[in-house]
Chains A and B, each alone.
Chain A
Amino acid sequence: MAMHAMHRRRFLRWGARVTGVAAAGLFVSASGCSSSNNNVVKIVSSLPRTGSAQGQTDTIVNGIRMAMEEYNNELFGLKLVHQDMDDATAAQGQWDAGKEADNAREALADPNVMVYIGPYNSGAAKVSMPILNEAGLLQISPAATWPGLTKKVPGDDKSGEPDIYRKSGKITFCRVCPNDFVQGPLSALFAKEKGYKSVYILDDKELYGAGIARLFKQKCEELGITVLGHESIVATQKNFKTVIAAIRDKKPDLLYFGGTSQSGGPQIAIDMKGEGLKCPLMVPDGCYEKAFIDGAGVDTFKEITCYATIGGLDPKELTGAGAEFVRRYKEKFNKDPEAYAVYGYEAAKVFLEAAKAVGTKDREAIREAVLKTKNFDKGALGKWSFDPDGDTTLRVLTISRIVNGTFQPEKSISE
């Protein structure tokens, strides 16, 4: 027994040493980070950088950096730095609430951070918005489109949106992309124009996907398009054959999927082909990315007609400064920008212009200046303003068809 005791003591000593080292490591690392220098101004972005949204977020980050380079990476005579934070985990393959909250707090803790660009997903915005709002840090999302983040959604008396995100009474969140009040209804309008009489709706049950599916459905009912059914899928099931087979028997003119290419979009197209559901598929901007086409396979869209919608314009349709942006982007990175690259660029640009006018490292003054932006035309999207809720006045929807592995803009509708 004595021997066991001895053994045990040695382990304990060892354990104590390990803990000591670990704890010391954490403490030191904590101090190491606080010693950041004050001669920089920081833009942070929090986007899903792991997982299939990466293709899209890569180009958003490229857009941000292109805007920064136009200012020679300098602001107020200080060095302008971009910190690229990831709000996704490999384990989930998409955004994670804990990670997004961590990012928001990390941004707040650094006094050099003047703007938080992101997130990409509306569900993630729900997490970071209240945190950033209380501390009064400006947040510009290039891609989160759920309307409830900025406006009260008609018929929603329960959630308390958007006031629950604005505890401080100030508005800190704005977005440069049109919200789903534009996208959902206008998609339905397009379906009507195409002469579809009946539609079946699927969604991924996320804030964004289910939200846009509901807005689409409401408008369809108004327009007299028969909604044959509305169902949620489970993205992790990775196989929707049965769901599609059941829809096939209902013979809809159109299948609408509210979701992203991370939450099952490509697999739905694959299974439509496999199960012989021949009607067209319509997807929102969460699928408006190359990852969607690659995931489903180019040849799948030879048999399945697929319309994808996006707020604003497709990069191919941009004119003037926008076309110039696309040209420079191609020159610099040797590939076409994804649809949201221009919104990354625009978000950084609107911040930089306002901050330049303010001229000092003052979070509050910069926030006010950005939200007051009116008739902004220094970016790539043409002339637009922020409305009182922080939404863009740009209210256009582009509908593209997937042809030969690319999005071919077919029509642009505005309200």
Chain B
Amino acid sequence: MFELLAIHPAASEFGQFLILGLVLGSLYALIAIGYTMVYGIIELINFAHGDLFMLGSFLALGIASGLGVLTAEAGVAWIVLTIGLMLVATPLFCATLNVTIDRFIYRPLRKSPKLTVIVSAIGVSFIFMNIGLFWRGATPVKFPDLIADTNLIDGTGLRFTWKDAMVVGITVPTMIGLTVLVKFTTLGKAMRATAQNPHAAQLMGIHVNRVIAATFAIGGALAGIASVVYGLYIKSVDYQMGFQNGLYAFTAAVLGGVGNIPGAVLGGLVIGVVGELGKAYLGAKWSEALIFGILIIILLFRPTGLLGARTREKV
């Protein structure tokens, strides 16, 4: 297939943009799952999710600087150790933070109207951003460049580096693991039941608040993993990146049908690909407009997203 693409420069170029879009899209998907799971269970647009992701990347950066592993020259063993530690500590940190926020800020508002909770989430997002600002300042910070840029498919006219492989290698198993968790475990069953009808779930003996906390924990952990992957892939982090990436991820969640996990993955990939192809063929300046244009058009024809269930809103 690669040889085929190499024949025609335009085709090879298209293939390259497709690769970039899919890699970036899988990153968005990982963040989008956090949005979609929380929404599915308590119908909250968690505006703070993107900023949680940002704080996660700052922690990962702190781990790297703490260990002094800042360039690829540190040696393979150190790099593996550092990334391993990041992949354990960051999700743990994000999950704990997310659960704490839920316990003290969202849980007391469980019976309040939606808007009240959304505004609280905006408040949390502001606070997270301010913490990020104090933590690393307003300047973008270089994230250690730990993974080689060697092209794995040299000679095909395309470029797929170790970094791209790392993104796919971490995001895809994570998503598979999550699907297994939601589909086949007791917790997953309890989550689905709560999402469907919290009252009925409670009557069935499900500890709803615990299930919600678990959802926040899983969503936070995914944001943590995504933040490590993002740092290693994009190589620069700053306190405002949560907003931009959160917006894309949130859009991905809605595009796929908010509350629907495969939908979030699909939405993330669509947004990644559309955004990058837009940058390449329409110019970078139109890519955001294109993403949201497509979102609106899709919602006009499928008002509940690509994979969303066609339910009527309760009246």
Interface residues of chain A, those whose CB is within 8 Å of chain B, are 50-52, 54-55, 90, 93, 205, 231-234, 236-243, 245-246, 249, 266-267, 270, 273-276, 291, 294-297, 299-300
A231 to B285, CA, bound (A): 9
Residues of chain A within 8 A of B288, CB atoms compared = 234, 237
* A239 lies within 8 A of B285 (CB): no
Please, which residues of chain B bring their CB within 8 A of the CB of A93? 138, 238, 240
Q: How far is the CB of B126 from chain A (nearest CB, A)?
A: 10
Q: Are A300 and B145 in contact (CB under 8 A)?
A: yes
**Contact pattern, B 244-257, Cβ under 8 Å of A = 1, otherwise 0:** 10000000000000
Interface 1/0 per residue, B7-22 and A, CB below 8 Å: 0010001001100110
Pair B161/A232 contact, Cβ less than 8 Å: no
Is B142 engaged at the interface, CB distance under 8 Å to the other chain? yes
Q: Is B234 an interface residue (CB 8 A)?
A: yes
Q: Is there contact, CB below 8 Å, between B149 and A242?
A: no
Interchain CB contact under 8 A, B139 and A295: yes
B139-A297 in contact (CB<8A): no
Cβ–Cβ < 8 Å partners of A233 in chain B: 284-285
Point out the residues of chain A lying under 8 angstroms from B155, CB to CB. Answer: none
Given pairs A233-B284, A246-B17, A297-B235, 11 additional interface contacts (CB within 8 A): A51-B138, A52-B138, A237-B287, A242-B20, A242-B21, A243-B280, A245-B16, A266-B236, A276-B151, A294-B139, A296-B142
Within B107-140, which residues are at the interface with A (CB < 8 Å)?
A: 133, 137-140
CB 8 Å contact bits of B152-169 with A (1 = contact, 0 = none): 000000010101000000
Residue from B145, B159, B287 within 8 A of A234 (CB atoms): B287
B139 pairs with A291, CB closer than 8 A: yes
Do B149 and A232 touch across chains, with their CB atoms under 8 A apart?
no
Instruction: Report Cα–Cα, A243/B235, bound state, in Å.
Output: 17
Q: B51 at interface (Cβ–Cβ under 8 A)?
A: no
What's the minimum C-beta distance from B61 to chain A, rounded to whole angstroms?
A: 12
Chain B residues with CB under 8 Å of A275's CB are 159
Decide yes or no whether B175 CB sits under 8 A from chain A: no
Bound-state CA distance A171–B303 (Å) is 59
Q: Can you give 8 contacting A-B residue pairs, CB < 8 Å?
A: A52-B138, A52-B140, A231-B284, A243-B279, A245-B16, A267-B140, A276-B159, A295-B141
| Contact B149–A276 (Cβ < 8 Å) | yes
When A242-B20, A243-B279, A246-B13 are in contact, do A270 and B284 touch as well, CB less than 8 Å? Answer: no
Contact of A242 among B139, B163, B279 (CB under 8 A): B279
Q: Is the CB of A232 within 8 A of B140?
A: no
Other-chain residue from B9, B142, B234 in contact with A294 (beta carbon distance below 8 A): B142
Q: Which residues of B contact A299 (CB under 8 A)?
A: 71, 145
Q: Smallest Cβ distance from B113 to chain A, in angstroms?
A: 18
Instruction: Give the residues in chain A near B133, CB-CB below 8 Å.
Output: 90
Is the beta-carbon distance between B139 and A52 smaller than 8 angstroms?
A: yes
Complex contacts, B137 vs chain A, CB 8 Å: 54
User: With a CB–CB cut-off of 8 A, which chain A residues contact B161?
Assistant: 274
Q: Annotate B235-276 by CB proximity to A: 1 below 8 A, 0 otherwise.
A: 110101100100000000000000000000000000000001
B284 touches A54 (CB 8 A): no
Whether the pair B284, A243 counts as a contact (CB closer than 8 A) is yes
- In the A-B complex, the 7 residue pairs with the closest CB atoms: A52-B139, A297-B142, A51-B138, A242-B279, A242-B276, A270-B235, A233-B284
Select the residue from A237, A241, A275, A294 with max chain B CB neighbours within 10 A.
A241
Residue of B nearest to A239 (CB): B234
Given known contacts A50-B138, A52-B139, A249-B9, is B149 in contact with A274 (CB within 8 Å)?
yes
Given known contacts A90-B133, A242-B279, A273-B149, A295 and B284 CB-to-CB distance under 8 angstroms: no
User: Which residues from chain A contact B285 at a C-beta distance below 8 Å?
Assistant: 205, 232-234
Tell me the nearest residue of chain A to B286, going by C-beta. Answer: A234
- Assembly CA distance A270 to B238 (angstroms): 15
A370 to chain B, nearest CB (A): 33
In the complex, which residues of chain A have a beta carbon less than 8 angstroms from the beta carbon of B16? 245, 249
B13 touches A249 (CB 8 A): yes
In the complex, the answer to whether B138 meets A232 with C-beta atoms within 8 Å is no
- Say yes or no: B149 contacts A240, CB within 8 Å: no
Q: A50-B138, A232-B284, A295-B142 are in contact. Are A238 and B234 (CB under 8 A)?
A: yes
Q: Which of B9, B17, B244 contacts A236 (CB 8 A)?
A: B244
8 Å CB contacts to A: which residues of B283-303?
Answer: 283-285, 287-288
Q: Separation in Å of the A298 CB from the closest CB of chain B?
A: 9
Contacts of A90 in B (CB 8 A): 133, 138
CA distance A270 to B143 in the complex (A): 10
A residues less than 8 Å from B244 (CB atoms) = 236-238
B140 contacts across to A, CB distance below 8 A = 52, 238, 266-267, 295
A266–B145 Cα distance when bound, in Å, is 14
A295 (CB) vs chain B CBs: closest residue: B140
A299–B235 Cα distance when bound, in Å, is 12
Cα(A205)–Cα(B45), bound, Å: 33
Chain A proximity of B75: nearest CB distance (Å): 15
